Amino acid sequence: MQKRNFLSAFVALAAGLLISASAQAQLTLGRDYVNIEPPQPTDNPAKIEIVEFFSYGCPHCNDFHPLISRWASKLPADVSFRRVPVSFGRAQWANIGKLYYAAEAIGELGKLDNAAFHAIHVKSIKLYDDNTITEWAAQQGVDKAKFGEAYKSFGVASKMQRADQMAAAYKIQGVPAIAVDGRYLVVGKEVKSYEDLLTLADQLIGKVRTERSKKK
C-alpha cells in the first residue's frame, strides 16, 4: 500500500514538473517578458521577489488591484511580494504615492488602500493635494494628526523618491507593471486579460526557480 502511494505521488510530481517545464518553455523573450538591464537588487535575495508598480490614480491599476491582491495572498513561501507607487514626475501622483507610504507607516494600509482606489475611481474624489488627502484619511477613521505627521515626514518623502528611482531603474513606462526577482519584467504583448498577466508572472517565477536550482 505504501509503495503504491509512493509511486502515485512520484508520478504526480513528475507530471507537475513536466507541466512546469512546458510552461516555462512557452515563455518568449520580447513577447511575454523582457530582461531588466542591469538586473536590480532585491530586498531579500533568499526569496523570489515580485514587485508591482502602480498608482492609485491609474484606472488600470484600480481594475487590477483585486486580482493581484488575491494572487499575492496565495504566493508560496519562497516568493515575496511588495508594491511600489510611482509618479512618473506628476506631482499629484507623487502625493497619492505618499498616501500609500503614510498609511503603511502608521499601520492603516488595510483601511485606506482599497478606499483610495474607490474614492478616486468610483466617487471621483480628487485626492491630489496634501489637505484633501489628510482630511479624507481622517474621514476613513484614521487618526488625522498621526497620518498627517507621517504624510509630511522625511521618511515618507524619501520612500517616494526611492520609488521613482526604482521605476526609472526598472525602466517602467506604464502601470500596472510586474517585475520578477529584479531580472524580468512581464510584458504580455499578446495577453487578453489581467489573469493572463498573472499567469506569465507565475511562469517567470518558475523560470527563476529553475535557474536558481541549476546554480546550486
Please report, for the domain that includes residue 132, its CATH number.
3.40.30.10
In a domain, 75, yes or no: yes
In a domain, 72, yes or no: yes
In a domain, 40, yes or no: yes
Q: In what order do the strands lie in the sheet with 184-186?
A: 33-35, 184-186, 177-180, 48-54, 79-85
Which residue type, as a one-letter code, is found at position 136?
W
Total of domains in the chain: 1
In a domain, 2, yes or no: no
Domain that holds residue 38: 29-215
In a domain, 41, yes or no: yes
Give the mean pLDDT of 126-155: 97
Q: For residues 176 and 186, what is the distance between their CA atoms, to the nearest angstrom? A: 10
In a domain, 163, yes or no: yes
In a domain, 9, yes or no: no
In a domain, 204, yes or no: yes
List the single range of 3-12, 103-112, 162-171 with lowest mean pLDDT.
3-12
Q: Is the pLDDT of residue 56 over 60?
A: yes
User: Which residues pair with residue 85 across a beta bridge?
Assistant: 54
Give the mean pLDDT of 84-89: 97
Cis omega (within 30 of 0) for bond into 85: no
Q: Using an 8 Å Cβ cutoff, are 129 and 86 in contact? A: no
Q: Flag whether the pTM goes above 0.95.
A: no
Closest CA to 113 of 90, 76, 152, 142: 142
